[in-house]
Structure 1
Amino acid sequence: MSTTFQLDTATSRANPTPQPMKRLTVPAIKRRKSDGKTDEPLVMLTAYTARQAQLLDPHCDMLLVGDSLGQVIYGLPSTLPVTLDMMIAHGAAVVRGSYHALVIVDMPFGAYEASPQDAFRAASRIMAETGAAAVKLEGGQAIAETIAFLSARGIPVMAHVGLTPQAVNALGGYAARGRSQEEHEKILADGKAVADAGAFAMVVEGVVEPIAVALTGAVEVPVIGIGASAQCDGQVLVTEDMLGMFERVPRFVKRYGDMAGYISETAANYASEVRSRAFPTEAQTYQPKS
């Protein structure tokens, strides 16, 4: 039995409550793709906080604690300044706030590139200090040895190929990848390499659609698309993008809500009531007992 956290305004906002549901496992996610196809696509969204995890958990197969939190939460210009400690703090919060979805934590830039041994040290910290089920790292053929090293030592790895944000400086920006035949072949080779190395699944980001379709059919593990194709084995988006929290989002984002507008309108109503002394009322204050 796992644990989730529900609001309890009488005490604190996080109060552990057991839930009669087993959390999804890495093998269960991997089994969703059989004989090269996935009948029901996998659902993945990013989560950075316990409360966000609570709300998303019932609807998702996987929750990704993405290093996108650097931009979304901290206002950083890219994912590059994100630290291992930041990822661990947010990863632990998401695990505490969920009970159903498989939780995966991004390994930040600089935590795994130097050597498989460095990657193991960082990944083992993430696993031990967050309770997450897996880590995610970016790269293809160049990182396959590291994926094999981690997988052989009991650390499940989700790979990430195509547009890899941690390599934004080398790539020259966030444009879609795979428009040349050379790049097309490299992305397919990267995907096959990480699957062969033991990745239990992979994200393919920002590639022209034929590549995503070809890669999904070429590997036995689930391929999760973002800016890729509906024919992938699943999809992931940054939750705040999907909710409409930002004015500018990548082309591949569909806004399913207007949370920024709702928050702004709600804050304006609050400010108006404070300034007019309409809030708080007797219902929100403590009166002497008669």
Structure 2
Amino acid sequence: MSHASNILTVISDAYSAKMVGQERLRTSLLVSLIAGGHILLESVPGLAKTTAASTLADTVKASFKRIQCTPDLLPSDITGNQIYDATTGSFRTVLGPVHANFVLLDEINRSSAKAQSAMLEAMQEHQTTIGGEVHHLPHPFLVIATQNPIEQEGTYELPEAQMDRFLLKEIVEYPSPADEFEILSRIDSGVLDPERHVASAVTLDDIRALQQTASKIYVDATIRNYIVSIAYVTRNPGPYIGDDRARYIKYGASPRASIAFLQASRALALLNGRNHVLPEDIRTLRHLVLRHRVLLTFEADAEGIRSEEIIDQIFASVPTP
């Protein structure tokens, strides 16, 4: 645990050297990295989603690729392609940018359904298939996708199957006035210069060690039952939160939500220096894990009902162990 704590301190210090505020975002990124999952970031433009992703990658001596999603992006632009080599008279495989430890999918909802589907195999199976040949992705492998919820022209809504592949979904909020003042100060000092990178101080072996340590965090049977009960209520909400609120839920969470709670709670416990998971860890993660898995009806959207409100009511209906 002490070695893991030292690694996390180095990462947090390097992150804070470039990023101002956004502590919740840092925690979400670290939980995703430690748990071996992927994360979807949503916010209006200009809230440093891309900067946060590149800063995290800078702290680790690992490969980092950024893919700017556009409507004309092809699957081969992501996974790679076979190119004919006239000098040898044969085809050679050129791997795409998804073959990196950290992959930033900027504005993922601007890519077409074909391009989005190309990421499904990579995110779930950690491999790509090019010309019938399987190519395994490096380990660790983290996808950080961003999307803008307010500008919908030229966008394609992510299908439920792909949303479910993201371990967490974080909503990035505006900085406080004090943080925004500090941003201006750091711009003047040159700290936020795009050409100025954070010194890499953590190796891939360190990240793998974090992931192995997290996998050994103890999760009691009562916590596991708590997770399963929450997932069950999302699928059968009527008796627990009332039919008047249950009608807003279109689909409940899949078993991937339970798995996400298990993996992410272990990572969060490690971040907090504990070797066991507490019920508070599950409650802390409730919006991150469920906001993109508990799907609401059009009626809920029309009445301004947010998924976080329904999630809070679900948690209030399930006894805390």
Q: Considering the TM-score relative to the shorter chain, is it more than 0.5?
A: no
Higher helix share: 2
Taking structure 1 as the reference length, what is the TM-score of the superposition? 0.32
Taking structure 2 as the reference length, what is the TM-score of the superposition? 0.30
Q: Which has the higher contact order (CA 8 A, sep 6+)?
A: 2
